[in-house]
Amino acid sequence: MKPTLLILAAGMGSRYGGLKQLDGVGPNNEAIIEYSIFDAIRAGFGRVVFVIRKDIEDVFKEKIGNQFADKIKVDYVFQELDTPIEGITEWPHREKPWGTAHAMLVAQDTINEPFAVINADDYYGVSAYRDMAKFLTEDCNGENHAMAGYVLDNTLSDHGEVNRGVCEMNNENLLVDVVERLKIRKNDQGIPEYLENDQRFPIRNGSLVSMNFWGFHPAIFEEIRKEFVLFVEENKDHPRAEFFIPLFVNKFIKNGKIKVHVLPCEDNWYGVTYREDKEMVQKAFGKLIANGVYEKNLW
């Protein structure tokens, strides 16, 4: 069975100032998400599942989803503040969505095969999809999962702070720790720092980070659901708390429930966290096209 690609596209785009999932960066106004789907198709993925919001459904399908109906199977699930989750009968007040792990969880009833998870607004590179598809097809099971790893310095924005899952691996390239560090930026000496409790702390140069490109067996869903129910109860008085994918991954690897194989990525990562990032990403795709990685007319 071919693996599925789960694309998290329900983000509000508050820092970017609009629906960055749909913003064009290619020569024919192609969005980053289109290059992701193109790479997934040629790597051997058999289906795409989009996590979106109801209020962007029509424009999203018109701009993105309807293009691929004849190329790969496409399905949709919806992430709202109160999307039904078994075990939660009353939702606390919220000021923002529940985060990436909740976005992933809303697809529980839709996916029954090994799958990858990506952000809609990140470009991960050709080799990342190839390596992930190979892992999901040959090595993925209820115990063994995967993550594409990127060098932190290659994932920072020149235009503002970013959040990254900072990773540590053992000598077998298994993930032993991943911690979501917030508001990362380089200091005046060029050293990446994150913010915690109103203080800044350095991050080791060369650290690998998660850019939210994960590979999972569907057995993980039930364990995530249990963790999310606990998270909601523990954070009922914290309306901005988010349930990130690294939160449950870190807990599961430390208690021995899962192993996560880190797949080092050979390609550069590009993203548009801020609107000012767009020009740089457009130039990057221009170079990729000039080097023959993509045709000028993608489809």
First to last CA, the chain: 25
Q: Which residue has the tokens 């548009």?
A: 272
What is the predicted pLDDT for the residue at 12? 44
Q: How do residues 197-207 score in pLDDT, each as one tens digit? A: 999 999 987 88
Average pLDDT (291-295) is 94
- CA-CA distance, 19 to 33, in Å (whole number)? 12
What is the predicted pLDDT for the residue at 20? 53
Average pLDDT (86-112) is 92
- CA-CA distance, 104 to 113, in Å (whole number)? 14
Extents of the domains making up the chain: 4-150+209-290
* Burial class of residue 246 (count of CB atoms within 10 Å of its CB; 0-12, 13-18, 19+): buried
Four-point Cα dihedral 256, 257, 261, 265, nearest 10: -110
Query: What angle is formed at CA 132 by the lines to CA 32 and CA 53, rounded to 5 degrees?
Result: 45
Domain 4-150+209-290, CATH number (from 1.10.10.10, 1.10.3720.10, 3.90.550.10, 3.40.50.300):
3.90.550.10
What is the predicted pLDDT for the residue at 70? 86
Q: Alpha carbon of 87 to those of 106, 223, 285: distances in Å?
A: 13, 12, 44
Q: Which residue has the tokens 């892992």?
A: 135
What is the predicted pLDDT for the residue at 115? 98
**Percent of the chain at pLDDT above 70?**
96
pTM of the model: 0.88
- Which residues contact residue 272 at a Cβ distance below 8 angstroms, ignoring those fewer than 6 apart? 16, 20, 23, 25, 32, 121, 278, 281
CB 295 within 8 A of CB 181: no
Sign of the alpha-carbon torsion through 80, 84, 85, 90? positive
> In the predicted model, is pLDDT for residue 14 greater than 60?
no
- CA-CA distance, 94 to 81, in Å (whole number)? 7
